[in-house]
Chain A
Amino acid sequence: MLLSNLEILPNKRVVKHLGLVQGSTVRAKHAGKDILASFKNVFGGELKAYTELMQEARDEALQRMVAQAESTGANAVLNIRFATSSVAQGAAELFAYGTAVVLEER
């Protein structure tokens, strides 16, 4: 599965458009990691635990999008975008969407 946020890929041709596919996940803050993060909030710097957490969540959203694309028989998702929204205090939705297509070498 080729994922790209371009509309037109070099040396490739879209032979079939399979419509919008999307994946989303809602994650809450992790209590244990939150305690660590609150220490970090004094010193500043990267919150590694959160970076991982957010990455996992985005991967999950992407995987769900890919699963949708696979079910339509696509071999690529183009023009992918991400969106984040905070649903409630301490919870965030991570959302990925794109167009499922069948690509062919030109």
Chain B
Amino acid sequence: MYDLILLLVLLSLGYFFGTYLEKKHYKSILKREKELKSILLFDTKLIPPELQASGGQMVVGHVVVSIDYFKRFVAGLRKLLGGRLKTYESLLDRARREAVLRMKAHAQESDANMIFNIKFETASISKGARDTIGSVEVYVYGSAVKATQ
């Protein structure tokens, strides 16, 4: 009985705070994406020769985010039946976009306007109870150049 109450408390805490934090995070992501729009992203290794480019210093961005209890619980149920773990999608989406934004911010500091050869690394760093993914790290890196079109 107490287990059930504790579970309900954790679930609702996870649901309300998780939803609130996620909304807040997306708002800030969208805002910063607009601000940093002028920095162009490429995952090609070669800088097109027609660009007048200079620089090439590596810039990185990364973040560790955790999923909330509610979404992890739903994913636990989903794993019994199989199928898409929808509740994990937003976790990874947020992490990737946040990491890219941090990389862009670094590039902006060094006055660059393009980032080339972008690569992503994703690692599950802390496993939750009984081997479920608790949180993921997303690491993104590339080389920042200043170029005129």
Q: How far is the CA of A6 from the CA of B53 in the complex (A)?
A: 13
* A43 close to B119 (CB less than 8 A): no
* B58 close to A80 (CB less than 8 A): yes
* B71 close to A5 (CB less than 8 A): no
**Chain B residue contacts of A12, Cβ below 8 A:** 56
Q: Which residue in chain A gives the minimum CB-CB distance to B124?
A: A86
State the majority secondary structure of interface residues on A.
Answer: mixed
Q: How far is the CA of A66 from the CA of B58 in the complex (A)?
A: 13
**Chain A residue contacts of B62, Cβ below 8 A:** 51, 54-55, 58
Least Cβ distance of A69 to chain B in Å? 13
* A46 close to B63 (CB less than 8 A): yes
**Chain B residue contacts of A5, Cβ below 8 A:** 58, 117, 119, 141-143
Is there a chain A Cβ closer than 8 Å to B121's Cβ? yes
Interface size class of A (residues with CB under 8 A): 35 or more
* A42 close to B69 (CB less than 8 A): yes
Interface centre among A12, A48, A58 (most CB of B within 10 A): A58
* B137 close to A45 (CB less than 8 A): no
* B125 close to A50 (CB less than 8 A): yes
Residue-by-residue, is A1-34 near B (CB-CB < 8 Å gives 1, otherwise 0)? 0111111111110000000000000000100001
* A43 close to B71 (CB less than 8 A): no
Least Cβ distance of B100 to chain A in Å? 15
* A51 close to B67 (CB less than 8 A): no
Q: Which residue in chain B gives the minimum CB-CB distance to A37?
A: B126
**Contacts A34-B126, A45-B18 known; 6 new A-B pairs at CB < 8 A:** A37-B126, A44-B67, A44-B69, A44-B71, A44-B91, A47-B126
